[in-house]
Structure 1
Amino acid sequence: MQLFKPEKLLVYFVFVLLLSGCESLFFWPSKKMVPSPEYFNFTKQDRFFTSEDGTIIHSWLLPTSKEKRGTIFFLHGNAQNLSYHVANVYWLIDKGWDIVIIDYRGYGRSAGKPNFNAVQKDALAGYHALLTQHSDKLPIIVWGQSLGAAVAINLAANLPPEDLPQGLIIDSGFSSQRKIMQETLGKSWITWLFQYPLSWSVTTEYSPDEAIVKIKDIPLLFVHSANDPLISSSHAETLFELANTPKQLWISKQQGHITIWNNEEWRERLSCQLSNWPMLLPVEDACKPQNFDPAHKQQYYFSDIN
């Protein structure tokens, strides 16, 4: 017996999305943890903290064994959990950086269920936990990737001046939840007709293009691939144009979404850029000896590195 005809099932699917505001489509958590510390050969410390509403949130600290340069506070993308996403950042511990990576509620060992508002609170609570434990005077760089880039922008936009990080990396992020929803739905003939009504049901409360203009006096490094099939590099260009100085945009030709750091040359250039922080440099100059040029503070740069 056929309970639903395909066209009725599609209408039902769209109706559910409209009721939920499409918010659930942005979050794809997994509770299954993979053995990334063993696979990548790094040491981690499990840490837990409490979000504003009492939800218990899980995080990892990856301490560097080198001379410490600072701390990276990493906010990951929308799928899986921190045991997967740590692959994008663990390599910086060998460059002298401590890594703190958190799981939003519903991800991994964190309790609760994610939504835009709750995830922002989780990021803020994790950042405050880091500040409480931060005993040295070394820089804290907030690195947000994909969905985490939106979380990072909103986090920095709402911090008081005394709590601001020393830098922000916006990696493969979208400029607007509505825009990325509309673009994603427009890629399929099944959902093409619904791209505008569904995308307009998405909240603009945490839209990165509205939050980025509030960030001042923080060096901003935007990184994106021109060949990202999920989030067009036009989103990075939009955010870059809206952002206050100092700022820098690196565009890669790497294939795929959040795959830039699989490339050893790109890893090395980011490590060099972090060593030069807060001076921001074009990607091809990042590892060159620097005679400081003020023009480097805000330059769009398209790299020929693959």
Structure 2
Amino acid sequence: MRRYLPLIFGGAALALPAALAWVFLHPPRRRHSKTPRTGLGLAYERVQFSSLDGVRLSGWLVHAPSPRGLVILSHGYSGCRDTMLPYLHFLHAAGFTALLYDFRAHGWSGGTQATLGLTEPRDLQAAIRWVECQPGLQALPLFLLGESMGASVSLLVTAQEPSVRAVVADCGFARMDGPIQKRLETLFGEPMGKALAPATRSIGEHLLGTPTARIAPEEAIGKIAPRPVLIIHGANDALVTPDHAHRLHAASGGEAQLWFVKDAGHTLSVRTAPDYADRVVGFFEDALR
């Protein structure tokens, strides 16, 4: 029996990281509790389209009267499209049509596995393809706005899609490997989170089939210029720490605009900064000009 103890203890030591890695890639689905109509009093259309690898995606299209442009809104990891309603509120008031959608394995979209930004760019690219096929939308100037994982995906996609006029990235990560440890520290406390991170990340990378460090908006952002980029980050963000914003800004060659919101936590700037709407709308208006 004693000779099996190392195997027993080794297996037990890997059980928790393996379970955590599985949960990271299969987050509990959050279904929207509000729609544009119930949350903001706005009419909307339910739309569906397929990702570039065939995953069925679900979304809302909200028309603005006499639209000046169209903004595709991308939510964060473990969220869904109703988390983007605060952005929709001021964008609609400013005359922008908006498309909100759920990433794969989130909300009402298909798919069983989230990939932390590895395959989600295919979802956003599918949203762009869908817009480009709609007669009433295809001529509108196109913008992207995302928060957290959606921010990073928006940067990755803008670098590949020349039709995107400008992009706003709120609390996006520069590279995916860091936020995994921070999330574990939030769940279990700093010492245990640090201890669990290497094994959890290693098992997750095995399941993904690629190192998380390869999910790297900081390697793509330099390809976006001369198109405008606005990086927004909560100064008190403990999940995706502010150094990610500094790294993204540096990787842009200083071309991107960088705005830290005082006292804001992760993705809370839109609710914290009184001038958030004015800044984002002004940024898009400058891009239109």
TM-score bracket for the superposition, by shorter chain length: 0.7 to 0.9
Contact kept, 8 Å, 1:145 with 1:171, in 2: the verdict is yes
2:57–2:123 Cα contact (<8 Å) kept: yes
**Matching residue of 2:89:** 90
Q: Distance in 2 between matches of 1:91 and 1:207?
A: 30
SS of 1:227's partner is coil
Q: Residue 130 of structure 1 aligns with which residue?
A: 131
* Structure 1 contact 103–110 (Cα < 8 Å) conserved: yes
**1:41 corresponding residue in structure 2:** 41
* 1:169 equivalent in structure 2: 168
Secondary structure of 2:177's partner? Answer: helix
Task: Report the CA distance between 1:103 and its aligned residue.
Answer: 0.6
CA contact (8 A) 2:70 2:137 kept: no
2:284 pairs, out of 271, 274, 295, with: 274
CA distance in structure 1 between the partners assigned to 2:267 and 2:226 by the alignment: 27
Deviation at 1:196, TM superposition (A): 3.7
Distance 1:25 1:64, change over 3 A: same
Match of 2:15, as an amino acid?
A: Y
* Mapping of residues 3-22 of structure 1, within 5 Å: 11-17=14-20, 22=21
Mind listing any 5+ residue stretches in structure 2 that lack a counterpart? 1-7, 206-210
Contact (CA 8 Å) 1:70, 1:138: kept in 2 or not? yes
Given residue 125 of structure 1, which amino acid in structure 2 is its aligned partner? A
Is 1:74 the counterpart of 2:73 in the alignment?
A: yes
Q: Within 1, Cα distance between the matches of 2:254 and 2:72? A: 21
Instruction: Give the deviation of 1:62 after TM superposition.
Output: 1.2
In the alignment, the residues of structure 2 paired with residue 42 and residue 10 of structure 1 have an alpha-carbon distance, to the nearest angstrom, of 51
> Which of 186, 189, 192 is residue 191 of structure 2 equivalent to?
189
Note the C-alpha offset of 1:33: 2.4
Distance in 1 (CA, whole Å) between partners of 2:165 and 2:253 is 15
2:158 maps to 156
1:260 maps to which of 260, 269, 277: 269
Does 1:56 pair with 2:56? yes
- Please show how residues 198-213 of structure 1 align to structure 2 within 5 Å: 198-199=200-201, 201=205, 202-213=211-222
Rounded Cα–Cα distance in structure 2 between residues aligned with 1:105 and 1:132: 21
Runs of at least 5 residues in structure 1 that lack an aligned partner in the other structure: 280-306
Q: What amino acid sits opposite 2:100 in the alignment? A: I
SS in 2 for 1:143: strand
Maintained 8 Å contact 2:46/2:60: yes
Q: Do the aligned residues in 1 keep the contact of 2:62 with 2:98 (CA within 8 Å)?
A: yes
Instruction: Please give the alpha-carbon distance, in whole angstroms, between the structure 1 residues aligned to 2:247 and 2:25.
Output: 20
Q: Residue 170 of structure 1: CA displacement?
A: 1.1
Q: 1:15 to 1:269 in 2, by over 3 A?
A: closer
Task: Provide the C-alpha distance between the structure 1 equivalents of 2:137 and 2:18, rounded to a whole number of angstroms.
Answer: 51
| Pair 1:147–1:52, CA change in 2 (3 A) | same
Q: Matches of 1:172 and 1:31 in 2, distance apart? A: 20
For 1:46 and 1:6, locate their aligned partners in 2 and report how far apart those are by CA, in whole Å: 51
Is residue 237 of structure 2 the alignment partner of residue 236 of structure 1?
A: no
Question: Which shows bigger deviation, 74-83 or 209-218?
Answer: 209-218
Q: Distance in 2 between matches of 1:211 and 1:26?
A: 23
Give the TM-score of the pair, scaled to structure 1: 0.77
Q: Kindly tell me the number of residue pairs found equivalent between the two proteins.
A: 267
- Give the aligned residue type for 2:56: I
| Structure 1 residue aligned with 2:208 | none
Contact 1:182–1:195 (8 Å) recurs in 2: yes
Which residue identity lines up with residue 129 of structure 1 in the other structure?
A: W
C-alpha RMSD of matched pairs (Å): 2.7
Give the equivalent residue in structure 1 for 2:5. Answer: none
Question: Which amino acid in structure 1 is aligned with residue 229 of structure 2?
Answer: L
- Matched residues in 2 for 1:226 and 1:141: separation? 25
Match of residue 284 from structure 1: none
Which residue number in structure 2 is paired with residue 146 of structure 1? 148
Q: Which amino acid aligns with 1:175?
A: A
In 2: Cα distance, 1:16 partner to 1:47 partner: 34
TM-score, normalization: structure 2?
A: 0.81
Distance 1:189 1:245 in 2: 35
CA contact (8 A) 1:82 1:102 kept: yes
Q: Is the aligned partner of 1:219 residue 2:228?
A: yes
Q: Per-residue CA shift, 1:242-284, capped at 9, x if unaligned?
A: 01464211111143211111244221232223222257xxxxx
